[in-house]
Structure 1
Amino acid sequence: MNDRLNTRRLLQRKNMMLDSYDCESCILQRTESLRHLFFTCNFAKRCWQSIEISFPGHLQPLQVVRRLKRRLMKSFFMEIIILMNWCICVQRNEWLFNHKDPSLENCKDHFKQEIAMVIHRAKGDLKQKLQQWLEELS
């Protein structure tokens, strides 16, 4: 959330020459910034919607986190945010480095696998809450 991920916009600011600085995951031809990649890209929006989460596109990343915290009202809201961002990033990297088309189904399945790993490591009440939330999601 602090703009440390090497998005194309960050690489551009560091004077790295690329053929394009546009997002590869959508047709909007917008510069791939952190905000765009995880929150305003059409693919990212669909990924969030697949787990029944939506938010206004005009917000900055930290504003999105605060809003999701209020809306989800779950003690594990940050796990959800981090894991969905991770899954979106994995889909992007699969496209960029392995030429595999981004897939909403793959992203959602990967998210469920990651949440299952968190559930496996969780203890007590958190484990039950995560399991219940995942079951409601399916």
Structure 2
Amino acid sequence: MLQKKNFHLQDYNCILCNQYRLETRDHLFFSCPFALACWKYICPTFMPQQSVHDNIMGIKKELQVPFHMEIITAVNWSIWRTRNDYIFNGISPSLYRCRRIFKDELNLVFHRAKRKKYHAMQSWIENFR
């Protein structure tokens, strides 16, 4: 997106995978080997699809929980934060760090959850750990 808006950087490649792949939204959040490892942690059979919509629908189908969007958002936020921590703070990206961010964010979401989703989300988090 920065390249399309003529924002000049030294490099537009993904810093998480070191494969000299252009860092697009689809690559960063779904097909980058780092992102794929993060998704496999949540959805072991996840395989990236052609579009963001197809990826979300596949994850929704695999998770089979009413709070799937909260999980998808938390995973993407964790990948984004891991990327930005590397760029801006020099913290090396690791799957462990991304999982920790995910768990922290999901717990925050859990505390803000509507009561009708409360028990299902609490059970999922407890079984997930």
When the two structures are superposed, what TM-score results if normalisation uses the length of structure 2?
0.92
Say yes or no: does 1:21 pair with 2:15: no
1:116 and 2:97 are equivalent in the alignment:
no
Q: 1: distance between equivalents of 2:38 and 2:67?
A: 18
Inter-partner Cα distance in structure 2 for 1:51 and 1:67: 12
Superposition pairs of residues 35-46 of structure 1, within 5 angstroms:
35-46=26-37
- Whole-angstrom CA distance in 1 between matches of 2:11 and 2:113: 42
Q: What value does the CA root-mean-square deviation take over the aligned residues?
A: 1.4
Partner of 1:5: none
Once the two structures are overlaid, the 10-residue window that deviates more, 79-88 or 113-122, is 113-122
Can you give the 5+ residue segments of structure 1 that lack an aligned partner in the other structure? Answer: 1-9
**Is the 2:82–2:93 Cα contact (8 Å) retained in structure 1?**
yes
**Superposition TM-score, scaled by structure 1 size:** 0.86
SS in 2 for 1:135: helix
Equivalent residue in structure 2 for 1:126, among 117, 122, 127:
117
The CA distance in 2 between the partners of 1:28 and 1:84, in whole Å, is: 22
Contact 1:45/1:54 (8 A) holds in 2: no
**SS of alignment partner, residue 100 of structure 1:** coil
Identity of aligned residues (%): 39
User: Is residue 64 from structure 1 mapped to residue 39 from structure 2 by the alignment?
Assistant: no
Deviation at residue 135 of structure 1 after TM alignment: 1.5
Who is 1:88 aligned against? 79
Q: Secondary structure at the match of 1:132?
A: helix
Q: Once the 2 structures are TM-superposed, how far is the Cα of residue 19 of structure 1 from its aligned partner?
A: 1.0
Between 47-56 and 92-101, report the one with greater CA deviation. Answer: 47-56
**CA deviation vs aligned residue, 1:86-122 (integer Å, no higher than 9, x gap):** 0100000000111110121111111111111111122
Match of 1:102 in 2: 93
1:30 aligned onto 2:21: yes
Give ranges in structure 2 of 5+ residues lacking alignment: none
Distance 1:51 1:79 in 2: 13
